[in-house]
Structure 1
Amino acid sequence: MTGPAVVLVGPMGVGKSTVGALLAERLGVGYRDTDADIERAAGRTISEIFIDEGEEHFRELERRAVRAAVAEHEGVLALGGGAILDAGTRRLLAGQPVVFLDVGVNEAVKRVGLNAPRPLLAVNPRQRWRELMEERRPLYTEVARAVVTTDDRTPEDVAEAILDALELHKS
């Protein structure tokens, strides 16, 4: 077992899902998203889990989902924006081909939208997004083998930059 070919981390709205699916296609491997794993297992959306049981419960589900995905998945793996908050998850990602997809606040707000069902952005989304990034950026950087910015780039360009950064050969 070698682990994932690529692990994508970064904030909500950066394009992990879109870029991850493109990367998986180019590499000829599967794509997996831990947020989708959590929703499938819980039979509810992440927003519903946050509202019904709180962030702490969600983060425990997230820790388990990330652990399972890193152990089982050999393709492209996208983690939820807050997965790197857990020290155990950061240790688990050590040595993995992790790419931090970075994005500026204006671009993120355009992509996420101010009315999207994002529980952590419910009040003052632009300010809250900035605060989250200030808190998380050092953690994203800590786990990343490469940083790729997505501002003013197409998903195809971002996927190409990731392949170049990790020196991955396309199938």
Structure 2
Amino acid sequence: MSPRAVLIGPPGSGKSTVGRLLADRLGLAFRDTDADVELAAGKPVSDVFIEDGEETFRAMEADAVRRALAEHDGVLALGGGAILAEATRELLAGHQVVYLEVGLSNAVQRVGLASARPLLVLNPRSQLKKLMDARRPLYSGLATITVATDDRPPAEVVDEIAASLKE
């Protein structure tokens, strides 16, 4: 069993929105590893970060990704930082990995600067820029498909991904 598509990208790239629409388009189930972490922890990701620390969250996230890659055959969205774990990057080899590329201004608009994203608490715009700059090479290196999402409606992004997926 293997996901039909694995979506990666920074916060605000549209992984959840595009993922749900793509799954509907393909007639498949959608799964989000952040939701898996929340279910396992019994609390929101932001609370796991605050109460248990980033290290605990990252361990839970890596486990959620490992399980989802083995169990899920639909569309899978990974949390923005899931690709930081080397073991996760290794597990993604051989999968159709879709990098949803987004520029800073679009990401800021989508994320909202007052959101409950734990890594964006202090000076969110600056933090998001640093995060995006640091992770961009990882996203690009893992991607088998890269789709620009700036100033595009989600349905158009889904069209491009669906046309690019290999059977």
* 2:97 matched residue in structure 1: 98
Per-residue CA distance 1:117-153 (angstroms, 9 max, x = gap): 0010001111111100111011111111011010011
* 1:134 matched residue in structure 2: 133
Identical-pair percentage: 58
Mapped to 1, the partners of 2:166 and 2:81 lie a distance apart of 27
Per-residue CA distance 1:39-72 (angstroms, 9 max, x = gap): 0111100110000111011000000000000000
Report whether the alignment pairs 1:32 with 2:37.
Answer: no
Report whether the alignment pairs 1:125 with 2:121.
Answer: no
Secondary structure of 1:138's aligned partner: helix
* TM-score, normalised relative to structure 2: 0.98
Per-residue CA distance 1:8-57 (angstroms, 9 max, x = gap): 00011111111001110111110000000100111100110000111011
* 1:86 matched residue in structure 2: 85
1:59 partner amino acid: R
* TM-score, normalised relative to structure 1: 0.96
Secondary structure of 2:53's aligned partner: helix
* 1:113 matched residue in structure 2: 112
Mapped to 1, the partners of 2:166 and 2:72 lie a distance apart of 20
Mapped to 1, the partners of 2:35 and 2:54 lie a distance apart of 17
Secondary structure of 2:100's aligned partner: strand
2:114 partner amino acid: N
Mapped to 2, the partners of 1:130 and 1:166 lie a distance apart of 29
* 2:60 matched residue in structure 1: 61
Mapped to 1, the partners of 2:166 and 2:149 lie a distance apart of 18
Mapped to 1, the partners of 2:151 and 2:102 lie a distance apart of 9
* 1:20 matched residue in structure 2: 19
Mapped to 2, the partners of 1:161 and 1:167 lie a distance apart of 12
* 1:71 matched residue in structure 2: 70
Mapped to 2, the partners of 1:96 and 1:75 lie a distance apart of 12
Where structure 1 has 5 or more consecutive residues not aligned to the other structure, the ranges are none
Question: 1:165 deviation in Å?
Answer: 2.1
Mapped to 2, the partners of 1:153 and 1:161 lie a distance apart of 11
Report whether the alignment pairs 1:45 with 2:56.
Answer: no
* 2:147 matched residue in structure 1: 148
Question: 1:167 deviation in Å?
Answer: 4.2
Per-residue CA distance 1:85-119 (angstroms, 9 max, x = gap): 00000000011000000101001100000000001
